[in-house]
Chain A
Amino acid sequence: MSVLTTPAGIATGAADALRRRPGADVAGSAFKWLLIGATVFATGFLAVLLAVMIVDGWDVLSGNLWYFLTHGFSQRSAGEAGVWQGILGSLQVALVTGLFAVPTGVATAIYLVEYAQGSRFARIVELNIRNLAGVPSIVYGLLGLAVFAQTLNGFTGGTTAIAGGMTLAAMVLPIVVITSVEALKAVPDSLREAAYGVGATKWEVLSRQVLPAALSTILTGTVLALARALGEAAPLILVGAATGFMAFGDANVFETFTGPYTALPVLIFNFARQPGADWGANAAAASVIILVLVLAVNGLAIYLRNRFEKQW
C-alpha cells in the first residue's frame, strides 16, 4: 500500500495541477476580451455608420426616394435636390477611369512579371508603383488639374468627366498593377512551359494561356479599383466636379463627357456643406446610396475572388 501511495499521490497531484482552475488566467481572458472588443469596434462601426445614415436620411429614403434618385442637384431647396446627376457622373467617370487604368495597369503588370522580372527597369517601376500607392488622393487632383485639364485641354476639353476619369485612373493605377502582378505570379510555370513546349511565341503564351488563366483575379482587382474610384471625391473637387451640376439639357450622352460634370461623392460633399437639417437628410440619404453601391461592388469583387481562388 505504502509502495503504491507515492506514485498515486503524484498522479493525483499532477492531475490537479493540469486541471484548468477557474479564474486562474484572469490576465489571459481579460486580454482576449480586450482584443475581441477592439475587433468588434473595428468592424462594428460599419453597422453604426449605416444605421446612423439610414436614420438621418429616413425622410428622404422613405418619402421620396424615387424623386431623389431621378432628379438633379438644386441649390434652391433641399427638397428639390436629387442625386441623379451624381450617379450618372460617377458612372461616366468610372468608365473613363476603367478605360485608362485597366489596359495600362494590366500591361504594366505583364511587363513586370513576364518580361522584366528582376531587371533594373522593373525595380524602378516597382518602386514607383509602391510610392504612387501612397500619394494622397488630393495630390492626384493637382496632376489632373495641371496636366489633364490644362495641358491636355485639347483632348479632355478642360475640367470634364474625361479629365476627372483620367485623374482617378492615375490614382487607382497602383491597385490594378499590384493585383494583376499577384494574379500573373499565381499562374503556374508549368502552364507557360507547356505552351512554349509546343512552339508558341511569348505573345501566344501570354495571350492564349497566361492571361485567360489570370483573368478572374485581374477582374477582381479591377473591380476593387473601380470601387475605390467610385467613392473618391477629393481629386475630383480640384478637377472641376465641385459645382454639382452636369451639362444636360439637350446634350446627348457623348457630349456630357466633355461638359461640366459631377460625381456622387462630390454631391454628398455639396449636401453636407449646406446648413440645415434638410440638407443633412439629403447627405445621409445619398451616403446610404453610395455605401450600398460601393459595398455591393466590393462584395462582388470579394465573392469573385473567393469563387475562383483555388484553381491550381
Chain B
Amino acid sequence: MPQDTSDLSVADLRTSARRRAWSAGARWAFALAALATVLVSALIIWTVASGAWTFISQVAWGSLTEIGWFPRRGLFDLSTLLVNSVQIAVIAMLVAVPSGFGAAIYLSEYAHPGVRKVMKPTLELLASVPSVVLGVFAISFITPSILSNFFSEINFFNKLAAGIAVGLLVIPLIASIAEDALRAVPVALREASSGLGARKVTTSVRVVLPAAMSGLMAAVIVGFSRAIGETMVVTIASGGGDTSLFNLSLFESGGTLTSAMAALGLGTDQVAGSTLAFQSLYFLGALLFAITLVLNMAGDVIVRRLQNRY
C-alpha cells in the first residue's frame, strides 16, 4: 500500500541523516584516496628534486665530465652512464621491436582466433617474468652459451648480453601496444585494399602498417623508456660493480643510470648520510625520472591521438 501523501511536506522528502552521512563520508574517503595517488607523485618529485639539488649545489662541475663513474672518489662522469644506458636500450630495441612487431602483426592480421586466444595470455604471462630471472639468464646462458661462441673476446659481464635480456623483457610490452594500434585500424580499410585485389601481405604492409604507424612509434618510445629504466638485468649482467670506466665497447661491462643507483643503494650502509656519493643516487634518480617522463608522455600523446582518429 502506498503511504499517506496528504499534507506532504519538504521534510518528508529528506533521507535519514545516517544514510546521508554515510554517502557523504564515502564520497570524501574516495576523494581522499584519489588525492593520495597525486601525493605519491608529488612525493616522488619532491624526493628526487630535493636530493638532486643537494647534489648539484655541492658537486664540483668538473667532476661531472671525467674518465668514468667512481662516486666514492668524487668522479661523477654522467656520459659514462648515459652512453651505457642508451647502448643497452638500443640493443634491447633491436631485439624487441622486430619480434614484438612481428608477433603483433601475426596476432592481429593472421592468427586464427583460437591461436590468438592462447597467445595473448601467454604474452601477458611473459610480461610478468621477474627481471632478476632474466639477469640470471643473461649471465648463465646468453653470454656463456651463445655470445662467447661468436665473440671470443667478450667479457663475462657485458652490455650486449644485458641489452638482449632487456630486449626479451620488453617484448611483451611492445607487442601489446603494437597490437592495440593495429587492431585500431578499421576493418573497412583492410576490406578496401582486399577489394582492389591486394594480397594479404600487401594489405598488411602497405595499408595496415602505415595506418597504425603512430601507434607503432608509441610502442617503440614506451619500450625504450622501459628499457632505460630497467635495473636488475643490467645490474646483474653488465654493471655489477659500483664503478665503471667510460667505454663504448658492447663486449665490456658498464654501469647504467639504473645500475649505478642499485650499486649505491647496496652500499647504503657505507655511503649513507649526506656524503656526495649518496646524494648522487638522488641526482641519478631525478635524471632517470625526467627522461622516462618525457618519453612516456610523448608515447601517451601519440596513443591518445590515435584513439581519437578512428
A/B: CB atoms within 8 Å of each other: yes
Residue contact B103 to A43, C-beta cutoff 8 Å: yes
Q: How far is the CA of A133 from the CA of B293 in the complex (A)?
A: 10
Shortest A236–chain B CB gap in Å is 9
Residues of chain B lying within 8 A (CB to CB) of residue A261:
none
Residue contact B26 to A203, C-beta cutoff 8 Å: yes
**Interface residues of B, count at CB 8 A:** 92
Nearest A-chain residue to B41, judged by Cβ: A128
Is B10 interfacial (CB 8 A cutoff)? no
Shortest A52–chain B CB gap in Å is 5
**Contact of A269 (CB < 8 Å), options: B25, B34, B132:** B132
Q: How far is the CA of A228 from the CA of B125 in the complex (A)?
A: 11
Among B236-281, those with CB < 8 Å from A are: 236, 240, 258, 261-262, 265-266, 268, 281
Nearest B-chain residue to A174, judged by Cβ: B37
Question: How does the 8 Å CB contact mask read for B109-128 relative to A, with 1 for contact and 0 for none?
Answer: 01100000001011111101
Residue contact A134 to B296, C-beta cutoff 8 Å: yes
**Contact of B38 (CB < 8 Å), options: A56, A124, A130, A143:** A124
Residues of chain A lying within 8 A (CB to CB) of residue B37:
104-105, 108, 125, 128-129, 132, 173, 177
Among B194-213, those with CB < 8 Å from A are: 199-201, 204-205
Question: How does the 8 Å CB contact mask read for A279-306 relative to B, with 1 for contact and 0 for none?
Answer: 0100110010011001100110010001
Shortest A307–chain B CB gap in Å is 13
Is A53 interfacial (CB 8 A cutoff)? yes
Question: How does the 8 Å CB contact mask read for B24-38 relative to A, with 1 for contact and 0 for none?
Answer: 011101111110111
Would you give 19 A-B contacts (Cβ < 8 Å), ordered by A? A38-B98, A38-B101, A39-B119, A42-B100, A43-B126, A46-B125, A49-B137, A53-B137, A114-B30, A124-B38, A135-B293, A139-B48, A139-B289, A139-B292, A142-B51, A202-B27, A233-B232, A265-B132, A298-B124
Question: How does the 8 Å CB contact mask read for B132-146 relative to A, with 1 for contact and 0 for none?
Answer: 111111011100000
Q: Assuming A139-B288, A302-B124, is B20 touching A201 (CB within 8 A)?
A: yes
Shortest B237–chain A CB gap in Å is 9
Q: Assuming A237-B266, A302-B121, is B285 touching A35 (CB within 8 A)?
A: no
Is A140 interfacial (CB 8 A cutoff)? yes
Q: Assuming A131-B297, A143-B44, A234-B258, is B128 touching A294 (CB within 8 A)?
A: yes
Residue contact B33 to A27, C-beta cutoff 8 Å: no
Q: Assuming A121-B34, A146-B47, A287-B136, is B40 touching A132 (CB within 8 A)?
A: yes
Residues of chain B lying within 8 A (CB to CB) of residue A202:
23, 26-27
Question: How does the 8 Å CB contact mask read for A89-124 relative to B, with 1 for contact and 0 for none?
Answer: 000000000000001110110111011100001101
Is A61 interfacial (CB 8 A cutoff)? no
The 7 closest A-B pairs by CB, nearest first: A38-B102, A136-B229, A231-B130, A107-B33, A134-B296, A35-B106, A234-B231
Is A79 interfacial (CB 8 A cutoff)? no
The B interface, classified by DSSP as helix, strand, loop or mixed, is helix
Q: How far is the CA of A107 from the CA of B37 in the complex (A)?
A: 10
- Between B33, B98, B100, B230, the greatest number of chain A beta carbons within 10 A of the residue's beta carbon is seen for B33
Shortest B68–chain A CB gap in Å is 21
Residue contact B123 to A43, C-beta cutoff 8 Å: yes
Interface with A: B1-9, B72-80, B168-176, which one?
Answer: B168-176
Residue contact A28 to B125, C-beta cutoff 8 Å: no
Nearest B-chain residue to A239, judged by Cβ: B265
Is B84 interfacial (CB 8 A cutoff)? no
Residues of chain A lying within 8 A (CB to CB) of residue B25:
203
Q: How far is the CA of A110 from the CA of B254 in the complex (A)?
A: 45
Residue contact A135 to B133, C-beta cutoff 8 Å: no
**Interface residues of A, count at CB 8 A:** 94
Residues of chain A lying within 8 A (CB to CB) of residue B51:
142, 146
Shortest A22–chain B CB gap in Å is 15
The A interface, classified by DSSP as helix, strand, loop or mixed, is helix
Nearest A-chain residue to B205, judged by Cβ: A31
Residue contact B122 to A283, C-beta cutoff 8 Å: no
Q: How far is the CA of A110 from the CA of B102 in the complex (A)?
A: 38
Q: Assuming A112-B34, A136-B288, is B128 touching A142 (CB within 8 A)?
A: no
Q: How far is the CA of A14 from the CA of B41 in the complex (A)?
A: 67
Q: How far is the CA of A137 from the CA of B228 in the complex (A)?
A: 11
Is B107 interfacial (CB 8 A cutoff)? yes
Shortest B254–chain A CB gap in Å is 17
Shortest A11–chain B CB gap in Å is 20
Residue contact B125 to A299, C-beta cutoff 8 Å: yes
Residues of chain B lying within 8 A (CB to CB) of residue A302:
121, 124-125
Residue contact A46 to B103, C-beta cutoff 8 Å: no
Q: Assuming A134-B225, A206-B26, is B101 touching A268 (CB within 8 A)?
A: no
Is B155 interfacial (CB 8 A cutoff)? no
